[in-house]
Chains A and B, each alone.
Chain A
Amino acid sequence: MKRIFESPDSARMELVATPSPGGLLLSWSAPDGKTSLEIQARRAPNGDWLLEHDGITRPAQVSIDRQSVWVSSFDAGDDASGTVRFRRVEAKRGATGVDLGVRSPMTGRVVAVHVQEGDRVEKNQPLVVVEAMKMEHVLRAPRAGQVRKVACQAGQLVEGGAELVELLDAIAVT
Chain B
Amino acid sequence: MHKVLIANRGEIAVRIARGCRVLGLRAVAVYSEADALARHVRVADEAVCVGPPESALSYLNADAILAAAKRTGADAIHPGYGFLSENVAFMRAVQAAGLIWIGPPADAIEPIQSKTSAKAVAQAAGVPTAPSAILDDLSDAGIQAAARLVGFPLLVKPQDGGGGKGMQRVNQMAELRSAVDTARRIAKSAFGSDKLFIERYVENARHVEVQVLGDTHGTTVHCFERECSVQRRHQKVIEESPCTILTAAEREAICESGRAFAAQVGYVGAGTVEFLFDPQRREHYFLEMNTRLQVEHPVSEAVIGVDLVVAQLRIARGEKLADILAGGVTQRGHAIEVRVYAEDPANGYAPQAGTLLRVRWSDAPFVRVDAGFEGGDAVPMYYDPMLAKIIAWGRDREEARLRLMAALRETVVHGVLTNVPMLLALLAEPTFVASEVHTGWLDVRYGNEAPGMGSAAGTTAMVALAVAGQGGPLATNGAASSAAAAGPATTDPWSALAGWRVGGAA
- Beta-carbon contact of B505 and A83 below 8 Å: yes
Chain-B contact segment, one of A5-13, A119-127, A164-172: A5-13
A29 at the interface (CB under 8 A from B): no
- Beta-carbon contact of A43 and B476 below 8 Å: yes
**Interface bits A132-172 vs B (CB < 8 Å: 1, else 0):** 11010100000000000000000000011000000000000
Q: Which residue of B lies closest to A26 (CB)?
A: B466
Residues in chain A near residue B480, CB distance under 8 A: 63-65
Q: Which of A7, A70, A108 contacts B415 (CB 8 A)?
A: A70
Distance of A91 Cα from B498 Cα, bound (Å): 10
- Beta-carbon contact of A89 and B499 below 8 Å: yes
Q: Which residue of B lies closest to A131 (CB)?
A: B381
A66 at the interface (CB under 8 A from B): yes
Q: Which of B382, B420, B461, B474 contacts A60 (CB 8 A)?
A: B461
- Beta-carbon contact of B351 and A132 below 8 Å: yes
A81 at the interface (CB under 8 A from B): yes
- Chain A nearest CB from B217 CB (Å) reads 41
A95 at the interface (CB under 8 A from B): no
Residues 464-506 (chain B) with a chain A CB within 8 angstroms: 464-470, 472-474, 476-477, 480, 483-484, 486-488, 493-494, 496-506
Chain-A contact segment, one of B97-105, B257-265, B405-413: B405-413
- Beta-carbon contact of B456 and A106 below 8 Å: no
- Chain A nearest CB from B462 CB (Å) reads 6
- Beta-carbon contact of B463 and A26 below 8 Å: yes
Q: When A85-B503, A87-B501, A133-B351 are in contact, do A79 and B405 touch as well, CB less than 8 Å?
A: yes
- Beta-carbon contact of B457 and A8 below 8 Å: yes
- Beta-carbon contact of B353 and A81 below 8 Å: no
Distance of A113 Cα from B119 Cα, bound (Å): 45
Q: When A24-B470, A133-B385, A137-B350 are in contact, do A85 and B465 touch as well, CB less than 8 Å?
A: no
Residues in chain B near residue A61, CB distance under 8 A: 358, 360, 412, 414, 464
**Interface bits A38-62 vs B (CB < 8 Å: 1, else 0):** 0101010001010100000010111
Distance of A27 Cα from B225 Cα, bound (Å): 57
Distance of A68 Cα from B464 Cα, bound (Å): 13
Residues in chain B near residue A8, CB distance under 8 A: 456-457, 501-502
Residues in chain B near residue A70, CB distance under 8 A: 357-358, 414-415, 506
Q: When A63-B358, A71-B464 are in contact, do A76 and B414 touch as well, CB less than 8 Å?
A: no
Q: Which of A23, A66, A77, A83 contacts B486 (CB 8 A)?
A: A66
Q: Which of B350, B428, B469, B503 contacts A68 (CB 8 A)?
A: B503
- Beta-carbon contact of B352 and A106 below 8 Å: yes
- Chain B nearest CB from A63 CB (Å) reads 4
Q: When A58-B460, A79-B425, A107-B381 are in contact, do A64 and B468 touch as well, CB less than 8 Å?
A: yes
Distance of A72 Cα from B501 Cα, bound (Å): 16
- Beta-carbon contact of A79 and B424 below 8 Å: yes
A80 at the interface (CB under 8 A from B): yes
**Interface bits B412-435 vs A (CB < 8 Å: 1, else 0):** 111101001100110010000000
Q: When A63-B477, A65-B355, A87-B503 are in contact, do A80 and B455 touch as well, CB less than 8 Å?
A: yes
Residues in chain B near residue A132, CB distance under 8 A: 350-351, 353, 381
- Chain B nearest CB from A19 CB (Å) reads 9
- Beta-carbon contact of B473 and A86 below 8 Å: no
Distance of A109 Cα from B381 Cα, bound (Å): 9
- Beta-carbon contact of B352 and A71 below 8 Å: no
User: Interface size class for chain A?
Assistant: 35 or more
- Beta-carbon contact of B357 and A105 below 8 Å: no
Residues in chain A near residue B385, CB distance under 8 A: 133
- Chain A nearest CB from B365 CB (Å) reads 18
Residues in chain B near residue A77, CB distance under 8 A: 455, 458
- Chain B nearest CB from A93 CB (Å) reads 10
Q: Which of A71, A89, A109 contacts B501 (CB 8 A)?
A: A89
A78 at the interface (CB under 8 A from B): yes
A1 at the interface (CB under 8 A from B): yes
- Beta-carbon contact of B503 and A137 below 8 Å: no
Distance of A135 Cα from B470 Cα, bound (Å): 39
Distance of A3 Cα from B470 Cα, bound (Å): 11
Residues in chain B near residue A49, CB distance under 8 A: 464, 467, 472
Distance of A76 Cα from B383 Cα, bound (Å): 31
- Beta-carbon contact of B502 and A47 below 8 Å: no
Q: Which of A43, A78, A108 contacts B409 (CB 8 A)?
A: A78
B354 at the interface (CB under 8 A from A): yes
Q: Which of B417, B460, B477, B484 contacts A85 (CB 8 A)?
A: B417
Q: Which residue of B lies closest to A108 (CB)?
A: B381
- Beta-carbon contact of B457 and A76 below 8 Å: yes
Distance of A39 Cα from B353 Cα, bound (Å): 35
Q: Which of B352, B455, B464 contacts A160 (CB 8 A)?
A: B352
B151 at the interface (CB under 8 A from A): no
Residues in chain B near residue A31, CB distance under 8 A: none
- Beta-carbon contact of A107 and B353 below 8 Å: yes
Distance of A5 Cα from B421 Cα, bound (Å): 26
B107 at the interface (CB under 8 A from A): no
Residues in chain B near residue A84, CB distance under 8 A: 455-457, 461, 502, 504-506
Task: Known A-B contacts: A5-B497, A106-B350, A109-B381. Give 18 more (CB < 8 A).
Answer: A9-B456, A15-B466, A41-B472, A61-B412, A64-B357, A64-B474, A68-B503, A73-B464, A75-B458, A76-B505, A78-B409, A79-B424, A81-B408, A83-B506, A85-B505, A107-B353, A133-B385, A159-B354
B interface residues, Cβ below 8 angstroms from A: 344, 347-348, 350-355, 357-358, 360, 381-385, 405, 408-415, 417, 420-421, 424-425, 428, 452, 455-470, 472-474, 476-477, 480, 483-484, 486-488, 493-494, 496-506
Nearest 4 CB-CB pairings of A with B:
A75-B458, A87-B503, A70-B414, A60-B464
Could you jot down 24 A-B contacts, CB within 8 Å?
Answer: A1-B470, A6-B497, A8-B502, A39-B463, A64-B357, A65-B484, A66-B483, A68-B503, A70-B357, A70-B506, A75-B461, A76-B461, A77-B458, A79-B425, A81-B424, A81-B505, A84-B455, A84-B456, A85-B504, A86-B465, A105-B348, A106-B381, A135-B350, A160-B353
